[in-house]
Chain A
Amino acid sequence: MKDDLLLQMAVAFATLSLVSIGGANAVVPELHRQVVDQLGWMDGATFTQLFAIAQVAPGPNVLVVSLIGWHMAGPAGLAVATTAIMLPSSVLAFAAGRLVARWSHTRWIEIAKAGLVPVAVGLILASGVVMAQAADHDALGVMITVAAAGFIVLSDRNPLWALATATAVGVACFRLGLSA
């Protein structure tokens, strides 16, 4: 029974890994469709909660998949889910990296890279804005987001300063009754 679940998990997440162009932000709707709607492993509220935890924890947000594995089948589930979501895409990245390196002397690879860089930067900006829309519930949240963005642009200091300051300001405003 449990082996069936693990196998199901391995197949579902390994498949997801191969189509997850764009990482976590791209995968979440599809993940939700599979885990909640199709396989019925958990309800929507549990899914949202797990995703929130994955977002707060360090590491790529795609780790929500590991958390789903843990939630469903403990340590074995965690191991299977993590391996299934990481391995296929990583092997592909490894092969692609080698391929690009081998042909790097050609003009075409140069041009391809020149074309891909702006798309990558635009998508990072997009995921930042999508994250902000999900995270910022009030004016204070928006202000924290803008200030953190400004910090990164204007300073080369450790981003942890921005996170720590934001957390302190958030708690202070709450304690002073300035935010709900």
Chain B
Amino acid sequence: MDDPIARAPIARIIPCDHPMSKAGNMADYESGAAAAAPPPGVTRTALFLGFLKIGLLGFGGVAPWARHVIVEERRWLSEKEYAAILGIGQVLPGPNTMNAAVMIGDRFHGAPGAMLALLAMMAMPLVILVVLASLYASFATVPDVRIAVEAAASAAAGLVIGTAVKMAVKLKPTRLALLVGLLAFAAVGLARLPLLPTVIVLALLSVAGAVWERRA
């Protein structure tokens, strides 16, 4: 299962298209995470600590944090590589970020890396969850706690919306891709259509569109 031959092609899951090689925006340079090429390899410790951070900070959902740490802070993957892995993770069952963690861990360190990334991402949330659940009964009645939790939930929703918008801007979608993205949003976010059939139909349409776009 973990032979190096099977693992070797993983480095080319997606062609390298790092934001730094493009005319990236200035904010990329200001983030201070070393204006250099992406790291050639990610150590197991770095992988573990990175995903530990993603899990620990992932209040209200992991997606904004995963992108922040993986693309902006540590530069493990480019915007495009990350979006593609997330896209694969999205059409598979399970949370897309959990699937992405498995695939990213595998990409850098094979099966042990996948397990490491997954465990790191889930460890802290599980501990915090149990503590929170045990304390909740006694703290839910304190008004400040209730208000703080509500405000954090509102902000968390904004973080997810902002993440989607930022990805859309940075990926420079074709008109067709933009249309598909908006359709997916409208179908699930506004019309609240059942997710499974919607994703299958849209994914097929979108792939068909990508074929047509390449022939045109």
Q: Does B84 contact A (CB under 8 A)?
A: yes
Q: State how many angstroms separate the Cβ of B148 from the closest Cβ of chain A.
A: 5
B42 at the interface (CB under 8 A from A): no
Is the CB–CB distance between B90 and A135 below 8 Å? no
Query: B129 at the A/B interface (Cβ < 8 Å)?
Result: yes
- Hey, which chain B residues are within 8 Å of A124, CB to CB? 63, 86, 160, 163-164, 167
A144 to B156: give the CA distance in the assembly, Å: 9
Cα distance, A123 to B88, chains bound together (Å): 13
Q: B129's closest neighbor in chain A, by CB?
A: A57
- Bound CA span A165–B154, Å: 12
Assembly CA distance A118 to B214 (angstroms): 16
Q: Is the CB of B158 within 8 A of A147?
A: yes
B181 interfacial by beta-carbon distance below 8 Å: yes
Interface 0/1 of B101-112, CB less than 8 Å to A? 011001100010
A116 touches B203 (CB 8 A): yes
- The yes or no answer to A18 lying at the interface (CB within 8 A) is yes
B124 in contact with A20 (CB, 8 Å): no
| Minimum CB distance partner of A96 in chain B | B92
- Tally chain B residues at the interface, Cβ within 8 Å: 111
Whole-angstrom distance between the alpha carbons of A72 and B78 in the complex?
A: 42
Q: Known: A18-B93, A101-B10, A167-B148. Contact between A119 and B206, CB under 8 A? A: yes
Q: In the complex the two chains form, is B111's CB within 8 Å of A94's CB?
A: yes
Mostly, the A contact residues are helix
Q: In residues 45-89 of chain A, which contact B (Cβ within 8 Å)?
A: 49-50, 53-63, 66-67, 70-71, 78, 82, 86, 88-89
Which of A19, A88, A144 counts the most chain B CB atoms within 10 A? A144
Interface residues of A (CB under 8 A from B): 17-26, 49-50, 53-63, 66-67, 70-71, 78, 82, 86, 88-90, 92-94, 96-98, 100-102, 104-105, 111-132, 134-137, 140-142, 144-160, 162-163, 165-167, 169-171, 174-175, 179
Residues of chain B at the chain A interface (Cβ within 8 Å)? 6, 9-10, 12-14, 27-28, 30-31, 55-65, 68, 72, 80, 83-99, 102-103, 106-107, 111, 114, 118, 121-122, 124-126, 128-130, 132-133, 136, 143-144, 147-169, 171, 173, 177-178, 180-185, 187-190, 192, 195-196, 199, 202-203, 206-211, 214
Query: What are 21 pairs between A and B in contact, CB < 8 Å?
Result: A17-B93, A55-B60, A58-B124, A70-B129, A70-B130, A82-B126, A86-B98, A86-B122, A90-B98, A97-B85, A100-B13, A114-B177, A117-B171, A120-B89, A121-B181, A124-B167, A130-B188, A140-B154, A145-B161, A146-B158, A166-B151
